[in-house]
Amino acid sequence: MTWQSETPPPNDPIPASAWPRIGLRAMALVFVFAVGLAVHALVRLAEYPHARARRPLSGRVVQAVCWLTLRILGLPVHVTGRPLRGAGALVCNHSSWLDILALHAITPVTFVSKAEVAGWPGIGLLARVAGTLFIRRDRREARAQTALFGARLRARQRLLFFPEGTSSDGQRLLPFKPTLFQALLDPALGPDLRLQPVSLTYHAPQERDPRFYGWWGDMDFGAHALQVLAQARQGRAEIVFHDSIDVAAQPGRKALAAAAEAAVRAGLTTAENPC
């Protein structure tokens, strides 16, 4: 079974008793997003003349919104290790739309996402506000991507991308695609560039399918979000920040991707690599 062919967990009927919880959480989220967007716009106006790309304050606003969102959902995040400091890049396994919230709540980062996400209702708007770098996964655009990565890194941003290229059910790690790693090997970025592998694991609520938080394939976002909103007692997410990798010490993009994949795999606590 793979992420492409495995049947997603069924959406259990939502009991009548859960709808007030869904309503309260939804109203709280709308309020947080509305206030967050307003504050973010004001902060961006203040920082724009001095830091067009760096976003030193608005990134913290996005981080606060993500942290509050997880609090409203009741989903705790346990962290091991320390996030990368300063400019550099992070790579992480990908299993859910919740990944963005969980990672952003812990450390301000600039996500690298496929171009299609920019057009998604709701999610696309939030991604653009957060300063997401949208790219097309096309080898012919490798040079342009290298230039974009370089500009963001020189602006002291920390880039984060998902090398699997898609999300899975959270119970396995798909092979890392080496294409985006090439941009990190640009000599113009200097010899001190670091890459930090990150492992993200979700533990489902009791008596729920282990893939409860996974969102992959053709799963409907609205139906999945309702299931999460309806859940009274959530499970938890675990994030492991591994030791960073010296990019310049790697012989090429494939070796860099392999080293990052090995670290991420070692930190996963799923059925594939149980606690």
Give the start-to-end residue ranges of the domains of the chain: 75-267
190 within 8 A of 252, measured Cβ to Cβ:
no
- The confidence score (pLDDT) of residue 226 equals 95
Distance CA 91, CA 57 (A): 23
Secondary structure (3-state) at 160? strand
* 187 vs 199, more confident: 199
205 within 8 A of 235, measured Cβ to Cβ:
yes
Tokens of 248: 């310049």
pLDDT over threshold 50, residue 271: no
Taking residue 249's Cβ as centre, other Cβ atoms within 10 Å add up to: 10
Tokens of 247: 């990019």
pLDDT over threshold 90, residue 249: yes
91 within 8 A of 161, measured Cβ to Cβ:
yes
pLDDT over threshold 70, residue 190: yes
Mean pLDDT value of segment 45-59:
68
Distance CA 252, CA 234 (A): 41
pTM of the model: 0.89
- CB-side neighbour CA atoms (13 Å) of 228: 27
Average pLDDT, the chain: 86
pLDDT over threshold 70, residue 8: yes
Tokens of 48: 């724009």
62 CA to centre of own chain: 13
- The confidence score (pLDDT) of residue 138 equals 67
Q: Is 165 left (phi over 0), alpha (psi -120 to 50) or beta?
A: left
Span 12-45, pLDDT tens digits: 899 999 999 999 999 999 999 999 999 988 888 8
Span 200-220, pLDDT tens digits: 999 999 989 999 999 888 888
- The confidence score (pLDDT) of residue 3 equals 43
pLDDT over threshold 90, residue 64: yes
170 within 8 A of 213, measured Cβ to Cβ:
yes
What is the DSSP secondary structure assignment for residue 100, as one 8-state letter? H
189 within 8 A of 150, measured Cβ to Cβ:
yes
- The confidence score (pLDDT) of residue 75 equals 97
Span 94-147, pLDDT tens digits: 999 999 999 999 998 888 888 777 776 667 777 787 778 888 766 676 677 778
- The confidence score (pLDDT) of residue 275 equals 42
Strand pairing report for 88-92 and 110-114: unpaired
130 within 8 A of 62, measured Cβ to Cβ:
yes
**Rg of the chain (C-alpha set):** 19
233 CA to centre of own chain: 23
- The confidence score (pLDDT) of residue 228 equals 96
